[in-house]
């Protein structure tokens, strides 16, 4: 199996997990996050709020990370959540998944 196919398989597996947890994650954010101010830090958008709706690591952000990971667009440095110099790699995708379910907070 080529590296690209392996990456695609990993991404599809993550997508399946994200699909299962996205409704739960959205519900958690509705309960615990003030959507009007949560995504704005010192006048700029918080890490993981790719769609700039004020909610980091929501379903839309997860979709954007996944699309970046599979190469649908060229990801910039915002998608390098673990700061390893590689945007939208498997670790960044895993961090976004963990953030979406509240296991970690993206700073």
Which residue in 7, 51, 63, 67 binds Ca ion (CB under 5 A)?
Answer: 51
Which residue in 11, 29, 47, 61 binds Ca ion (CB under 5 A)?
Answer: 61
- 59 vs 63: CA distance, rounded Å: 6
Is 92 a binder of Ca ion (CB under 5 A)? yes
Which residue in 9, 17, 82, 105 binds Ca ion (CB under 5 A)?
Answer: 82
Site for Ca ion in 1-20 (CB under 5 A): none
Cβ closest to Ca ion, residue 51 vs residue 67 = 51
Per residue, what are the HEC states of the chain? CCHHHHHHHHHHHHHHHHHHHHHHHHHHHHHHCCCCCCCEECCEECCCCCCCCCCCCCHHHHHHHHHHHCCCCCCCHHHCCCCCCCCCCHHHHHHHHHHHCCCCCCC
Number of amino acids touching Ca ion (CB under 5 A): 12
Is 34 a binder of Ca ion (CB under 5 A)? no
Q: Where along the sequence are the contacts to Ca ion (CB under 5 A)?
A: 49, 51, 53, 55, 58, 61, 80, 82, 84, 86, 89, 92
């Amino acid at each position: 199996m080529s590296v690209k196919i392996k990456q695609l398989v990993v991404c599809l597996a993550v997508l399946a997990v994200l699909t299962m947890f996205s409704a739960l994650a959205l519900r958690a954010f509705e309960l615990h996050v003030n959507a009007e101010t949560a995504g704005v830090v010192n006048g700029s958008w918080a890490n993981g709020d790719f769609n700039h709706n004020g909610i980091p690591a929501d379903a839309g952000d997860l979709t954007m990370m996944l699309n970046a990971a599979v190469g649908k667009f060229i990801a910039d440095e915002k998608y390098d959540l673990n700061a390893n110099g590689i945007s939208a790699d498997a670790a960044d995708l895993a961090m976004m998944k963990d953030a979406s379910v509240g296991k970690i907070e993206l700073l």
